[in-house]
Structure 1
Amino acid sequence: MFCGFTTDPKMYRWECLLLVLPFVIGRGSAQDTCGYKKCAALPVKPGYVNVHLVPHTHDDVGWLKTVDQYYYGANNSIQTAGVQYILDSVIPQLEMKPSRTFIYVEMAFFYRWWQEQDGDMRDRVRKLVSNGQLEFINGGWCMNDEASTHYNAIIDQMTVGLQFLNSTFGECGRPLVAWHIDPFGHSREQASLFAQMGFDGFFFGRLDYQDKANRLKYRNMEEIWRASPDDLGAAADLFTGALYNHYVPPGGLCFDIGCKDQPIEDDMALHDYNVANRVGIAVNTSLDQVQHFQTDHIMWTMGSDFQYQAAHTWFKNMDKLITHTNSMADKHKVNLLYSSPSCYIYHKNKASATPPGVKFAHNNTADFFPYADQPHAFWSGYFTSRPAFKGYVRRCNNLLQVCKQLEVIGAPKFSDKVPLPTSKRFREAMGVAQHHDAVSGTEKQHVANDYAMRLHAGAVECQVITSMTLQQRMVKAGALPPVAEFCNYLNISVCPLTEDEFTKSFTVTVYNPLARRRTGYYVRLPVTGDAYAVNDPEGNNVVTQVTKVSQRTQEIRGKRGKAKHELLFPVSAPALGFSTYFVSQSQNSSRSAGKQPKAGDDQEIHNEHLSLLFDGKTGLLKSVVNLETNLTLKVNQGFYWYNSSAGNNKASNKKSGAYVFRPNSTEAMPILPQQSVITSVVDGQLCQEVQQSFSPWVSQVVRLYSGQRHAELEWTVGPIPIKDDLGKEIISRFDTDIMSDSTFYTDANGRELLARVVDRRLTWKLNQTEPVAGNYYPVNSRILIKDKSKQLTVLTDRSQGGSSLRNGSLELMVHRRMLYDDGYGVGEPLNETGVFGEGLVVRGKHYLLLDTPESSGQLHRALGEQLYMAPSVLLGLAGGNDPKQYRKEFRTNYTAMKRELPSSVHLLTLEMSEDETVLMRLENQLQKAEGGAPQNVTLTGLFEPFEVEINTVEELTLGANYPSTMVQRLAWNTEGGRTKSEALRCWDSGSATVSLQPMQICTLHFKVQQRD
């Protein structure tokens, strides 16, 4: 087989007779000294304390200023920071001395800077990258949050950054180490994802102050994290280090232009000569730090937030510090050297491999939530902060996946006729939104507005792509069908097209992004008429229900909508395809009557799977019965509020804020009306519901749809009142008869479940200072409690904080509004307001499931997949056609798959790469404990619009920037044996089959042949 390098207008590409890779493997010359080649040549000294100085800057992709303001250095009245000047300043300083190094992390900034550079500067930067002086660490579009992010969005934002580095710098641009120095707590799933991306190590700066003290004492600041102990096993093990000094320089040794520490004055003729003092600090700090680590290699983070805008101040002083300290190294046995996290980990690994070898701990299967930096300061408030934005990010992720799929399915065929926008803007906006001061809700208000604006701009383009691509696929022959459009405010019953009194008929096209048929999905549309007829894609009549728009919804939408009713009907759509329904006004009434409950009478709603009983006196949910298993759950569900601390508590002056959750009391106060909370009961053929009002600013609708195995609880909270000068944090709480034994379970970024025990940490003994906030954990998609016979699972439509503070109880924080800042930099209280200046109203949903523990796993995985990959609903005018005529002219059913994927296999990614090849990820989404088993998928003949060219298929790491076959991760000596270095493989080219173990994600890249 002949292989060789070939030049392409966009990039170099390795080509073989049967293989085309989108990678720049070893780009440049054989003289490249990047990566571990550079590390092997570093001037380390055996028997000495080797101090690895890591020059770095931490550049938030928005926080106190917007992304643009941070890049350009605008709005410096808030914070003096300009990222462009950092990169401008660092490059010439690296060129001055080949020993100097620098790492860079945030590709959202570097990409922007790179686009502005001329050819000469790009060549200079490539040289610095190829010789290992400039090294990219982490490499994602941002340094993402780990609590409020969904794994799909994490993978996407990492992919955008890593692929840019690959196409620009090749092998020398591939990051070897993950670097999350600022996120506020760390997820086990994040470590698992990093391991699957091929990283050799993971460093972070923030861990609980008690945990850190314990690790320093027992010298386990560095360990092998077991990130998927029961499923992926060794493939997800990852060397992990908690930084000794957060991510700032050692005390007294900060040399940035904004630092107050003394520079090194080494002219002996001057009275201020201070070399002995500066060297003494360095030596003493080194000797103290090394006592807490397993080898004679330690790392100093020489930099901090937005530092190196005047890089010469740093490098000039570090040069002197290294020179003067090392000149006396024989005396104190301390050796300072310029380095990087990858070189630090390389030498750690050599110390582990060299007999007798250091053995690192290998038993941590927990995570690092919740984070507290001091007593009474648990950073668990941001799990819920800015709930509206958290919900918007989740919905945007849904739309982005749809958009990318349709670019593959339809765009290549359609682009010759009409130029389409691309998903690029949306991908980058979603990447920025995953930043640890974005979706986390810990940014200033004007920055949150900017994030939302960026998402909206990207979403608009992707809605155009979705509409035009589906329109093109509807064509049978001749003219295009009417343009289909999105209605973006259906959650408050606003849609101009359907509520216009002149609209007598319209189409509803439902695109299903799942790789299997979606049935039992309900479309709910605002309408003005009393009755409607709906025909499915084959012309059959569909059962409908018309319900009055609730009073609360009318209040929220104000003058933005005028519909009196909502039309409800079930739809079905094929795998990776669409179905079009035809809606027209009818004379036959399908209205469901709302009724006022009789005082004191219990109210019951039910479908074929569940029965919900509401107490006649209080109106609160009283019991849930699973009619299939005869399980009965006694439950009281209601809304409560914690009084936010204003800093006047005797134990501490710490306040609740964007980061910190600190209630004034361990008991939440109920939000109760003077009478029963039930305002109306709707008894419809398709949906039964109970409307509840807890106060003028808290309401809920509990729904049971026909055919569904879960109950839907749609909550509406806000404006949270603050005229009483009290900040409030609102929860929905379920008190049940489940004997949960102080144990509950939460998901990690939408994937694996972790057990939580009240007032306990798995790896250290907790001194609990905040009984409520200290037991709150991030809930990205689900939280559950169980005993031997029953399991209650609540799924969420966005990330929230949640807990189980007593046996049988489960609570989720849905909204929060404070009057004070918590003192961690934001400088303003978390006091969101809406368009009319009042407190923000937020509407969201919880999904309740009751089943046996043995049968719950597959059920909540399937529902979770359906929620975050919900169908896209587009509406269009019927153009005067009746349903029969419309079906003659246009296609009303389409699927891009020739066969469906197995029920536990999820099509995680289907997107077009810049070189017009396709990137696909398949995921086995069931854990072994949920009944997960190996699954096989054959690619031959899988898709309808194209055929996969099997001889071009290449398996990649999860970040899609490196061939999986070439992965050789560093192996470590541990207490349990030596770790494995090979990646977990999934692709068999001989049989054209993907083989997936439970929880495994397979990433493939290939060319396609379009079908005629």
Structure 2
Amino acid sequence: MFTMGTDFKYQYAESWFRQMDKLIHYVNKDGRVNALYSTPSIYTDAKFSTNEPWPLKTNDFFPYADNPNAYWTGYFTSRPALKRYVRMMSGYYLAARQLEFFIGKSKSGSTTDSLGDALALAQHHDAVTGTEKQHVANDYAKRLSIGYKKAEELVSTSLGCLSESGSNSRCSSPTTKFGQCPLLNITYCPPSEMNLSQGKSLVVLVYNSLGWKREDVLRIPVMSDSIVVHDSEGKEIESQLLPIANVSLNLRDRHVKVYLGTSPAASPKFWVAFPASVPPLGFSTYFISSGKRSASISSTSTLNSQGNESRNLQVGQGRLKLHYDAAGSLSQYSDSKTQVEANFEQKYKYYIGQDGSGDDPQASGAYIFRPKDVVPIKTDGQVPPTILRGPILDEVHQQINPWIYQITRVYKGKDYVETEFIVGPIPVDDENGKELSTEIITSMATNKTFYTDSSGRDFIKRVRDYRSEWKIEVNQPVAGNYYPINLGIYVEDGSKELSILVDRSVGGSSIKDGQIELMLHRSMMMVVVLRKH
């Protein structure tokens, strides 16, 4: 097999094929070898037909480097917002395709084609990887947004048709109109930000595109603290109100103004959280209205630096609990069902990226991760954590530093912890590029071993500073042990296992035994060196 074409060298197809035609002609004229235009499937069939044994490779080639200081492990995290956008739109596309099939594809109405095209473009190796220039990243995001808007119309129509009794599969103009909230990540959802005091109700339709039943907790921004939630049969559902953090409202105000060109008239005050159960490939309907008996309002407390509330704060209403020490740092995890109790810390740090000004001009950049130094982010003297408690979930809000805010959620009926973080803008006034990571630290003896997923499928065993097929000398002990995390990463010691799942592709590793770290964000600086000759 001879592959044809490469980056920036395949722009003139006529010239390429003319030269390839000549090569094939003269090779075949010689007669010893038969050359032809081929495809991967034709090549594979030809190899298979030789009936020869071939070695089976079950691992991969990560981490890749093309010189001792150039490990291509930075792009695992580059442009994390675009990575998340692509993943969200991929899931939305799947649901929209299903709904498009349910009601029948229209030749004149909205379709999912535009979103499918945008997602296909986003699979380019300089798109979702984050290695493109800013104006190109903007173009990918714009195409995704255009595709989403067209698919949004289809989804609204389809759900309206499916929810109206007696509607047939060819319904095209339902009377029910559903609004959607693509900007929930910045706490913006106009359909839910309505005054319910005049007897109005907010109808929430939840669609499940998966082939199995889902039970989860929904969170929707609302204006009132007098809220009651009912299911489709009129049964009241337990719900909980959580005050929206100021940092979220500030983010909302800034970005909604950019998105709409104007600031919203009023801001929601609470998230209403309630459990939802949705059948496979189906939907459930819930009703939010103003009621005499309001949803439970989360109790709020603050753990001060002296730990007056408790010397060992416990968070969690169910079997799983997190324990915080007097300084407000996570110290222990416990699960009453599995009888697991373990020391457990979470910290933030950033790597200072090489700027290319030294003897080796290789810098940290969109592709390359080359740290020069690591700086731990201390939480001493920061704002004490705020704890919200309620019947459905507990939340711990922490302002880690001026540009990192974290919310940790422990659900009563779930056996996992959920972490949401707001990062940025990363300060670069000191002219140092920063690559932000969070790390989970345990006392587990993991013997240099950890596991990462292979493109969201099987998990592959990784051993620090080791490759099973060749002897390696790792010149970059951090960057040389980073791997792509598309689904998750875990470590184990024979009796316990620590697993982390991610909501977008990032880079990660276990740099020390018992530790897992994930790179969350990157902000690089570039030095231009001018030399006089």
For normalisation by structure 2, the TM-score amounts to: 0.88
Consecutive unaligned residues of structure 1, counting only runs of 5 or more, are: 1-51, 61-80, 82-303, 824-1012
After TM superposition, the structure 1 = structure 2 runs for residues 878-897 of structure 1, keeping only pairs within 5 Å, are none
Consecutive unaligned residues of structure 2, counting only runs of 5 or more, are: 168-172, 257-263
The Cα of 1:372 is off from its aligned counterpart by 0.6
**Aligned with 1:472 (options 161, 171, 179):** 161
The Cα of 1:744 is off from its aligned counterpart by 0.3
The Cα of 1:734 is off from its aligned counterpart by 0.4
Q: How far, CA to CA, are the matches of 2:66 and 2:144 in structure 1?
A: 32
Q: How far, CA to CA, are the matches of 2:287 and 2:35 in structure 1?
A: 71
Q: How far, CA to CA, are the matches of 2:466 and 2:487 in structure 1?
A: 23
Match of 1:806 in 2: 512
The Cα of 1:677 is off from its aligned counterpart by 5.6
Match of 2:261 in 1: none
**Aligned with 1:314 (options 15, 19, 23):** 19
What CA deviation, in whole Å up to 9, does each residue of 1:471-521 have, x standing for no partner? 1111125995531111111122111222234774211110111222212x1
Q: How far, CA to CA, are the matches of 1:516 and 1:388 in structure 2?
A: 29
What CA deviation, in whole Å up to 9, does each residue of 1:678-717 have, x standing for no partner? 4311011111011011111111100012211111011111
Match of 2:225 in 1: 530
After TM superposition, the structure 1 = structure 2 runs for residues 347-358 of structure 1, keeping only pairs within 5 Å, are 352-353=50-51
1:694 aligns with 2:400: yes
Match of 2:63 in 1: 370
Q: How far, CA to CA, are the matches of 1:57 and 1:622 in structure 2?
A: 54
The Cα of 1:321 is off from its aligned counterpart by 6.9
**Aligned with 1:586 (options 268, 283, 291):** 291
Change (3 A) 1:348 1:474: closer
Match of 2:497 in 1: 791
**Aligned with 2:317 (options 603, 607, 623):** 607
- 1:404 partner letter: R
Change (3 A) 1:602 1:476: same
- 1:546 partner letter: L
What CA deviation, in whole Å up to 9, does each residue of 1:416-467 have, x standing for no partner? xx95312122222111111111111111111111111111122122222221
Match of 1:493 in 2: 187
Q: How far, CA to CA, are the matches of 1:581 and 1:796 in structure 2?
A: 28
SS across alignment from 2:220: strand
Task: Tell me, yes or no, if the aligned pair for 1:678 and 1:690 is still in contact at 8 Å.
Answer: no
**Aligned with 1:430 (options 114, 119, 137):** 119
Q: How far, CA to CA, are the matches of 1:312 and 1:753 in structure 2?
A: 41
After TM superposition, the structure 1 = structure 2 runs for residues 346-745 of structure 1, keeping only pairs within 5 Å, are 352-353=50-51, 360=54, 362-411=55-104, 420-476=109-165, 480=174, 482-501=176-195, 504-519=200-215, 521-558=216-253, 560=256, 562-589=267-294, 590-598=296-304, 599-600=306-307, 601-617=311-327, 619-650=328-359, 652-665=360-373, 668-676=374-382, 678-745=384-451
Task: Tell me, yes or no, if the aligned pair for 1:411 and 1:469 is still in contact at 8 Å.
Answer: no
Change (3 A) 1:774 1:677: farther
SS across alignment from 2:517: strand
SS across alignment from 2:60: coil
The Cα of 1:607 is off from its aligned counterpart by 2.7
1:774 aligns with 2:480: yes
Q: How far, CA to CA, are the matches of 1:768 and 1:449 in structure 2?
A: 36
Q: How far, CA to CA, are the matches of 1:729 and 1:306 in structure 2?
A: 35
Q: How far, CA to CA, are the matches of 1:373 and 1:781 in structure 2?
A: 26
Task: Tell me, yes or no, if the aligned pair for 2:274 and 2:392 is still in contact at 8 Å.
Answer: yes
- 1:442 partner letter: T
Change (3 A) 1:564 1:623: same
SS across alignment from 2:385: strand
Change (3 A) 1:406 1:725: same
Across the aligned residues of Structure 1 and Structure 2, the Cα RMSD in angstroms comes to: 2.7
Match of 2:457 in 1: 751
Task: Tell me, yes or no, if the aligned pair for 2:451 and 2:462 is still in contact at 8 Å.
Answer: yes
Q: How far, CA to CA, are the matches of 1:761 and 1:420 in structure 2?
A: 54
Task: Tell me, yes or no, if the aligned pair for 2:410 and 2:418 is still in contact at 8 Å.
Answer: yes
What CA deviation, in whole Å up to 9, does each residue of 1:318-367 have, x standing for no partner? 479759x95xx9xxxx86955546676676667x54xxx6x54x243210
SS across alignment from 1:629: coil
Q: How far, CA to CA, are the matches of 1:481 and 1:320 in structure 2?
A: 65
Task: Tell me, yes or no, if the aligned pair for 2:483 and 2:508 is still in contact at 8 Å.
Answer: yes
Task: Tell me, yes or no, if the aligned pair for 1:510 and 1:580 is still in contact at 8 Å.
Answer: yes
Q: Which moved more, 1:746-755 or 1:305-314?
A: 305-314
Change (3 A) 1:741 1:308: same
Change (3 A) 1:316 1:568: closer
Q: How far, CA to CA, are the matches of 1:321 and 1:587 in structure 2?
A: 87
Change (3 A) 1:319 1:795: closer
Q: How far, CA to CA, are the matches of 1:349 and 1:579 in structure 2?
A: 50
Match of 1:57 in 2: 5
Task: Tell me, yes or no, if the aligned pair for 1:745 and 1:756 is still in contact at 8 Å.
Answer: yes
Q: Which moved more, 1:476-485 or 1:711-720?
A: 476-485
SS across alignment from 2:192: helix
Query: How many residue pairs align between the two structures?
Result: 506
Q: How far, CA to CA, are the matches of 1:717 and 1:530 in structure 2?
A: 29
Task: Tell me, yes or no, if the aligned pair for 2:316 and 2:393 is still in contact at 8 Å.
Answer: no
Q: How far, CA to CA, are the matches of 1:822 and 1:514 in structure 2?
A: 50
Q: Which moved more, 1:337-346 or 1:494-503?
A: 337-346
What CA deviation, in whole Å up to 9, does each residue of 1:790-816 have, x standing for no partner? 000000001110000111000001110
Match of 1:141 in 2: none
Q: How far, CA to CA, are the matches of 2:196 and 2:272 in structure 1?
A: 16
- 1:482 partner letter: T
- 1:388 partner letter: A
Change (3 A) 1:341 1:700: same
What CA deviation, in whole Å up to 9, does each residue of 1:211-240 have, x standing for no partner? xxxxxxxxxxxxxxxxxxxxxxxxxxxxxx
Task: Tell me, yes or no, if the aligned pair for 1:610 and 1:627 is still in contact at 8 Å.
Answer: yes
- 1:492 partner letter: I
The Cα of 1:534 is off from its aligned counterpart by 0.8
SS across alignment from 2:247: helix
Task: Tell me, yes or no, if the aligned pair for 1:380 and 1:773 is still in contact at 8 Å.
Answer: yes
Change (3 A) 1:481 1:537: farther
Q: How far, CA to CA, are the matches of 1:471 and 1:591 in structure 2?
A: 32
Change (3 A) 1:53 1:558: closer
Change (3 A) 1:577 1:821: farther
Task: Tell me, yes or no, if the aligned pair for 1:656 and 1:822 is still in contact at 8 Å.
Answer: no
Q: How far, CA to CA, are the matches of 2:10 and 2:72 in structure 1?
A: 20
